[in-house]
Amino acid sequence: MAKKTTKIAELGDQPGKADVSKVQAYLERFGYLGARGEGFGAADFPEAAPDSPGAVLATARPAPGAGAYDDVTRDAVRQFQAFAGLPVTGAVDTATAAKMNQPRCGMPDAAGVAEFVTSGRRWATTNLRYAFQNFTADVPSNDIVLAIEQAFSLWAAHTPLRFTRVPLASGPEIIIQFVTGDHGDGSPFDGPGAVLAHAFFPSVPPAAPTAIMGDAHFDDAETWTVAVPPGAGTIDLVTVAAHEFGHSLGLSHSNVAGALMAPFYGGPHRAVEADDIAGITSLYGGFSINHAMWVHGTSVTIERDADVESVTRFGFFTRIVGKPNTTNWYHVAVPTPVIVGGNRLAFARAMLRFATGGTSAVVRDVHIYDGSSRIAAHQSVNLSGSQPFAVFGVAHKPDVAWGAGISIGVTTGPGTAAQRRIDLISAGIDFLD
């Protein structure tokens, strides 16, 4: 059994050498102390290009006294506090120690840099292939495959990128592994808690990629889950995978607290935010939608009428009030331009416009179908309230075969009819040539 990582303690006026050393080790590991660029120690980790911001910052920083809470260490604590959105005091107070003890990504932070951060590293291709080296025993392998696909689809929804699962032997760009401790890339994992995962950036074009670039490693000493809410002490695989794939695509850590690319894990976060979208589109651009097909919310159909208290069709939406403590599926068939001008179209993403009466009516899952094939499953996204434009990507963007359907899984809790309502206003699909 892996040993629990020793916690960082709040430092008082006369901190002990051992406690200071733990803080210094944390700061060094995550890029706030010591030579920059050595934070992620794989032998073939891509070096920063001479003209990149990383290289400028690599000019030697003064070394701290080992175990001494000196000015160099205090400065590094200030940088960490600024990055993490804490009061910048230079003291390892309760909040700072707690933030350092929070589970997080193993990649270093780029301290002091605002908002999303890229390093010019990107793939030259938009058709990225991924494969599993192995699975964790914590989650059935079918669920792992779905979780990984959902994580990729968050990035696919806003870029020209396509993510296709292939056999390991075919030389994919992105290899997914569950490993523990020292696993041969110079950045050993640390047992349960603390570091959860890490991933390898692509190269700076035109430099050719190396084999390890794009790969994502998950610490199998964690207990992974796909359940939302996760059980005590378990970690949401979709959230961590989506974050790591941000690195696989060339994004560094963001200091925007709500961003998916913020380094700290605070529970399920199965969405990309404006900061993440700005970052990824700065690397890959958006995509031009060639065809968009939308339907009005009055066309929704209900899977189980028995679980519905009322359905009212207004001029501009359908209001469905679910019976208390039920789950149901509402289906929307989207007219699909399968072939246009002799070209077969491909799926890009789905969109929904809806509002619920609060957290008693929650859009739990959104599935996208092409005929009988489910081409995307967004599980446990748990959206409620006003959702003017919710986007759901399709990781591999397959060609259209039969015709699109969007299935909306809704959980209805207790509460008044007004709280249990969902107003479905519009739904649609974007297609690519």
Q: Are 195 and 219 in contact (CB under 8 A)?
A: yes
Which one of the spans 138-146, 165-173, 216-224, 331-339 is the region binding Zn ion (CB under 5 A)? 216-224
Pairing mode, if any, of strands 174-179 and 127-132? parallel
Mark the segment that binds Zn ion (CB under 5 A) among 142-150, 184-192, 298-306, 343-351: 184-192
Position closest to Zn ion via CB: 105
Region near Zn ion per CB under 5 A, out of 63-71, 105-113, 127-135, 151-159: 105-113
Pick the binder of Zn ion from 11, 27, 105, 366 (CB under 5 A): 105
Nearest-approach distance from CB 176 to Zn ion, in angstroms = 11
* Omega prior to 229 cis, within 30 of 0: yes
Kindly give the pairing relationship between strand 308-313 and strand 127-132.
unpaired
Classify residue 400 as exposed, middle or buried by CB count within 10 Å of its CB (0-12, 13-18, 19+): buried
- As given in the structure block, the two tokens for residue 392 are 């759901």
Residue 244 annotated as catalytic:
yes
> Does residue 262 belong to the site contacting Zn ion (CB under 5 A)?
no
Nearest distance, CB of residue 107 and Zn ion, angstroms: 4
Question: Is residue 185 at the binding interface for Zn ion, with CB under 5 A as the rule?
Answer: yes
Among the residue ranges 179-187, 228-236, 330-338, 351-359, the one whose residues contact Zn ion (CB under 5 A): 179-187
Count of Cβ atoms closer than 10 Å to residue 12 Cβ: 11
Residue 96 Cα to chain centre, angstroms:
24
Q: Which is nearer to Zn ion, 110 or 395 (CB)?
A: 110
State the minimum distance, in angstroms, from the CB of residue 374 to Zn ion.
30
Helices 94-101 and 71-84, interaxial angle, to 10°?
Answer: 70
Closer residue to Zn ion in complex, CB, 105/146: 105
> Binding of Zn ion at residue 276 (CB under 5 A)?
no
Provide the minimum distance between the beta carbon of 33 and Zn ion in the complex, in angstroms, as a whole number: 18
> Least distance (Å) from Zn ion to the CB of residue 349?
24
- Using an 8 Å Cβ cutoff, are 218 and 206 in contact? no
Mutual angle of helices 274-284 and 237-249, in 10-degree steps: 30
Q: Which is nearer to Zn ion, 177 or 360 (CB)?
A: 177
By the 10 Å C-beta count (0-12 exposed, 13-18 middle, 19+ buried), 51 is classed as exposed
Number of amino acids touching Zn ion (CB under 5 A): 4
**Of residues 121, 162, 217, 367, which one binds Zn ion by CB under 5 A?**
217
Nearest to 181 by CA among 231, 217, 149, 208: 217
Give the separation between CA 169 and CA 199, rounded to whole angstroms.
20
The C-alpha atoms of residue 425 and residue 406 are separated, in whole angstroms, by 14
Q: Which is nearer to Zn ion, 105 or 429 (CB)?
A: 105
Q: What sign has the CA pseudo-torsion 102, 390, 145, 362?
A: positive
Active-site residue (options: 173, 244, 273, 309): 244
Query: Mask of contacts with Zn ion, 107-146, x by CB under 5 A?
Result: x---------------------------------------
Q: What is the nearest approach in angstroms of Zn ion to the Cβ of residue 247?
A: 5
What are the residue numbers of the active site? 244
Residues forming contacts to Zn ion in the complex (CB under 5 A) are 105, 107, 185, 217
